[in-house]
Amino acid sequence: MVKIVTTLFLLTTIFYCVQSRDNNKLIHDIIRDHEIVIFSLSFCQPCASVKNIFRDLNMKFFEFVIDHQGEDSFEILDILSLLTGRTSVPQVFINKKFVGGYKEIQEMYENGTLVNFCDCLDCECSMETY
């Protein structure tokens, strides 16, 4: 009996570990591996505006659409809010640093500081969506 219970427990644990994606690692890896990352939601107008700004400047970005992640979406929002202190989207990271949302990107676009990143980034317009 004890053996059966132990076996069941082990199987459940293994199943759980295989099932659950390590979202924390995923988010950190994405931020580490891409120069510009936009965490967005589909049907979010400020997210579309931010993407248009980067397209306009020919700055390549990686878009992570949070609501495309199924039941992991909620955990991902929690992880991001711990990282950035925000619950709104878009959340934009450049060179692994959180630079802000729509307001900040729009201001950096208007005051000319956003395009300065092109000196060190691969500014060739293309888009990746996860």
Residues that bind ligand NAG (CB under 6 A): 104, 107-108, 111, 113
**Which residue's CB atom is positioned nearest to ligand NAG?**
107
Query: Cβ 86 to ligand NAG, closest distance in Å?
Result: 15
Query: Cβ 113 to ligand NAG, closest distance in Å?
Result: 5
Helices 45-56 and 102-110 cross at an angle (nearest 10°) of 30
The residue (of 58 and 113) whose beta carbon lies closer to ligand NAG is: 113
